[in-house]
Amino acid sequence: MVLEPDGALIQDDADQFMSRLKDAVSESAGRVVVDLSLVPFVDSRGLEILVEANDALSSGGRALKICCVNETIREVLDLTGLAVRFDHFDDTNSALRSFH
């Protein structure tokens, strides 16, 4: 399943995205790709949601992949030390193929 949030993942928008993410996890056998191409920025709540979803999936032997990360989000992930917790891909197709 591919999720494509549109807009910054901050506070209330991030909470709405978490609801969509939880639904996707239950519907997708734990194979979820988050395409961040339309997300210009992620705040601490947005990061927290991505980390929580990744940890929940990883604990069950499943995976959350992220793709199309812009330079701003990449820097935030690097500065917070969270980059290593996610599988990153340049495009959606590469992320989807990584599940095979």
Beta-ladder partners of 66: 34, 88
What sign for the dihedral angle of Cα 30, 9, 38, 66? negative
Q: Tell me what the pLDDT averaged over the chain comes to.
A: 91
Task: Tell me the domains of the chain and their CATH numbers.
Answer: 2-95 (3.30.750.24)
Q: At residue 44, does pLDDT exceed 90?
A: yes
Number of residues that make up the chain: 100
Can you spell out the DSSP letters for 39-86? Answer: ---B-HHHHHHHHHHHHHHHHTT-EEEEE---HHHHHHHHHHT-GGGS
| Averaged pLDDT for residues 40-62 | 90
How does residue 61 score in pLDDT terms, banded at 50, 70 and 90? confident
